[in-house]
Amino acid sequence: MPSRTTGADGPLTTVGAPPQTRIKPVITACLLAVFLAMLDSQIVATALPRIVGDLGGLDVFAWVTTAYIIAASVTTPVYGKLGDLFGRKKIFLISVAVFLAGSALSGAAQSMDQLILFRTVQGIGAGGLFVSVLAIIGELFNPREAAKYFNLFGIVFALAALAGPAVGGALTDLLSWHWVFLINLPVGIVILVLVSTCLHLPRADRVARIDYTGFVLLSTAIVALTLAASWGGVKYEWLDWRILGLGAGAVLLAVAFIAAERRAPEPVIPLHLFRDSTFSVSVLVSVAAGIVFLGSVNFLAIYIQVVTGASPTVSGVVLLPMMFGLVASSVVSGALITKTGRYKWYPVLSMAIGIAGALLLATMDTGTPRAVVIAYMLVFGVAAGLNMQVLTMAAQNTAPRDDIGAVHATVSFARQLGTTVGISLFASIFYNRLTEEIADRTPPGALRGIDHDALSSTETLDRLTEPVRNAVEQAYAAALTPVFLTAVPVLVLGLLAALTMKNLPLRGEHQGEDHQDHEVAAEGN
């Protein structure tokens, strides 16, 4: 194994890294980056109802998240490849800087269109956060050692997931929803300082050949797929020529992307990785997990605030048990994997428990006691946490060291792509059903002069008469039921894929690594 030295900050070098690298500050920066990205997603979810009540745009509210996820999805594999080519430190710093710029702009947004645009900028930066952190850990440590740090990430997920809903609600109530974005700035500055001064990774001397064709084809395919999922059944009928055209275009662009990747010297997504069944299964299950577990969070916040009448602060508190379940299962599974070196059955359990959780959530209505709602969400959270770290560990375990960045990027991209499709699809189902339910349940003229977008705000609901408010709450609850039912077949497919994963042990060295020093050139500061 590569040698290590020690110093004032603990271990200084690992896996052949130059002696200038200070491990503890670097790990701290990586953990803060994960915290920042996770906190952002949780805070925004609980603030969305208030944002819609302030800016309007209920029919496009999902794009506040969708635009962010699309941008992150498109850029994630690119960041992974750029990290392989130009060095992970430079690419990580760029991604953090862009994320902070997007956060500042989102905090200053004055309209829904502006917010969606600025969230796109934020997403462009976010695409490099997770993949850069995972690739840095993957380069510094072998798979068995890296599992220990993935477990630390589980603890950070705990802090962010538990604090996110409550902090988001509190910021929204006490200050304004603008601060759910501005809170990112001080954390991001700390990350920039630590990484700039303490991280010095080795970098292979490789010719930089950027796959522009692959990037354009992949980006266009994702946008076409997302537009088809979000417009279908809402703006246009599912069989409308526009939706069919977008779907066909996404398929053709995907085929063209695969053909381009076969010829590219440095493809965005190296297709040879899919020859490894463990990698392929990890990608498939990541897509399913992204669609269901990440794509449904916004809708749980809507249920709590609109159907049960909770304020954003109380909504954050109600979401805490679900986040606790996610964190607990993630940390426990990470610790057990580190101890045993086995990981197969955790994604299997994730999909199976997720099916039960989705079916339970689909039964919720205006009469469901809040304690029961919390119990259902706890089950759902446990299911989500069982695949958070495992799929990345599994994919890295069988990956060649030179492809670590591309491996992490592709698995992260798969999860984000699933989230993009999930949010768009669920929003389409929800909004289409909600329009029908409100028309059927409220008396004619009862909502005259009231923008339907404002109904997600507790202030607007408080001004309605009790019968009308009850009708609106019932309409929202009924519109959310098909969202959770749609998640069930997706999880079934994820379960079938997870069952095919090989039960391999985590390795104690990188794939294809011998015990000789690697020929590397130190990355510049």
Per-residue pLDDT of the chain (525 residues; tens, 9 = 90+): 343 433 333 333 344 444 455 778 888 888 888 888 777 766 776 677 777 777 766 666 667 777 887 787 778 777 877 777 777 788 889 999 999 999 999 888 888 888 888 888 998 888 888 778 877 877 777 666 666 676 677 667 656 766 666 677 677 777 777 888 888 888 899 999 988 888 777 655 556 667 788 888 888 888 888 778 777 766 778 788 888 999 899 999 999 999 988 888 778 788 888 888 888 899 999 999 888 887 777 688 778 878 877 766 677 677 778 877 887 888 788 778 877 778 888 999 999 999 999 999 999 888 888 889 889 989 998 998 888 778 877 887 776 666 666 777 788 778 877 877 787 788 878 888 887 888 888 777 766 666 555 566 666 666 777 788 888 888 888 888 998 999 999 999 999 999 998 877 766 554 544 433 333 333 343
Write out the E strands in 319-364.
none
φ, ψ at 341 (rounded to 5°) = 75, 10
Helix 390-397 to helix 345-361 angle (10° resolution) is 150
- pLDDT value for 433: 85
3 state SS for 418-435: HHHHHHHHHHHHHHHHHH
Sign of the CA dihedral running 482, 485, 489, 490: positive
Question: Are 54 and 177 a contacting pair, CB within 8 Å?
Answer: yes
Structural contact between residues 218 and 260, judged by C-beta atoms closer than 8 angstroms: no
pLDDT of residue 520: 36
In order, the DSSP letters of 58-99 are GGGTHHHHHHHHHHHHHHHHHHHHHHHHH-HHHHHHHHHHHH
Which secondary-structure segment (H or E) carries 11? strand 10-11
| CA distances to 20, 45, 470 from 50, in Å | 47, 10, 20
| Cα–Cα distance list, 215 to 182, 220, 268 (Å) | 30, 9, 7
Write a three-state SS string for 93-119. Answer: HHHHHHHHHHHHHHHCCCCHHHHHHHH
Contacts of 339 by beta carbon, 8 Å cutoff, 6+ apart: none
Task: Enter the DSSP assignment of 517.
Answer: P
Give dist(CA 151, CA 457) in Å, integer. 38
Contacts of 239 by beta carbon, 8 Å cutoff, 6+ apart: none
Q: How many CB atoms lie within 10 A of CB 256?
A: 17
Strands (DSSP E) contained in 136-184 are none
Backbone phi and psi for residue 171, each to the nearest 5 degrees, phi listed first: -60, -40
94: number of Cβ within 10 Å: 16
CB contact set of 494 (below 8 Å; sequence gap of 6+): 284, 285, 287, 288, 289, 292, 347, 350, 351, 354
Q: Contact 134/146 with Cβ under 8 angstroms?
A: no
- Cα torsion angle, 192, 195, 197, 203, sign: negative
CA distance 357 to 111: 36
**From the centroid of its chain, how far is CA 193?**
25
Phi, psi angles (nearest 5°) of residue 203? -140, 130
Q: Counting Cβ atoms within 10 Å, is residue 515 exposed (0-12), middle (13-18) or buried (19+)? A: exposed
Measuring CA to CA, which residue among 39, 34, 44 is closest to residue 315?
A: 44
Question: What pLDDT, on a 0 to 100 scale, did the predictor assign at position 11?
Answer: 38
Helix (H, G, I), strand (E, B) or coil at 208: coil
| pLDDT for 202 | 66
Distance of CA 79 to the CA centre of its chain: 16
Q: So what's the pLDDT on residue 518?
A: 37
User: Rounded to whole angstroms, how far apart are CA atoms 40 and 123?
Assistant: 11
Dihedral (Cα; 413, 419, 420, 421), 10-degree rounding? 110
CA distance linking residue 231 with residue 472, whole number of Å = 24
Closest CA relative to residue 172, chosen from 486, 461, 456: 456
